Structure 1
């Protein structure tokens, strides 16, 4: 997977406003209503990550999930990071609506 340049990253970040860039990573925090829902969100993210063979770093703090995406093999951000970020946004929205 080809590493994206700064212009491409800036453009893609406009599509995922809940994410922000820190160096060669994009990050987002999701706050679930309770611990059980937070774990359900993680499980759904895991399914999507496996399907894409692209795995986020996830830090679980009670009902807060801190997510980080980067493509280690490419040494930075690639299309895969933004595809998974969009899927994570959908999962978060689905659980917020439940």
Structure 2
């Protein structure tokens, strides 16, 4: 998968207001009501990661989930990172039905 240019990344990230681009990665932090809700979201995200065969650098402290996405094989951001960011967004902030 090809690494995206900084210009492509800056344009694409506009669709993801919870995410920032710095240090050659996409970064986001999500706060939940409690640890159980945070861990539940992490579990759902893990299934998406497996389906996409793409895995984040992430950490969790109580009710806060911190995520960093980059494609190590490409040494930067690729389409895979944006696909996973979109899947994560749909899990942590589902659209109202």
Instruction: Give the structure-2-normalised TM-score.
Output: 0.95
Moved over 6 A (4+): none
Query: Residues of 1 paired with 2:53 and 2:91: CA distance?
Result: 17
SS at match of 2:15: coil
Q: What's the counterpart of residue 16 of structure 2?
A: 16
Count of paired positions: 96
User: What is the CA–CA distance in structure 2 between the aligned matches of 1:43 and 1:24, rounded to whole Å?
Assistant: 26
TM-score by length of 1: 0.94
CA displacement at 1:23 relative to structure 2:
2.1
Tell me the residue number matched to 2:85: 85
* In the alignment, structure 1 residue 34 sits paired with structure 2 residue 17: no
Q: In the TM superposition, what is the alpha-carbon distance from 1:7 to its structure 2 partner? A: 1.0
Write the distance in 1 (CA, Å) between the matches of 2:92 and 2:26.
16
Measured on the aligned residues, the alpha-carbon RMSD in Å equals: 1.4
Distance in 1 (CA, whole Å) between partners of 2:30 and 2:77 is: 21
SS at match of 1:38: helix
Q: For residue 35 of structure 1, report the CA deviation from its aligned partner.
A: 0.5
List runs of 5+ in structure 1 lacking aligned partners.
none
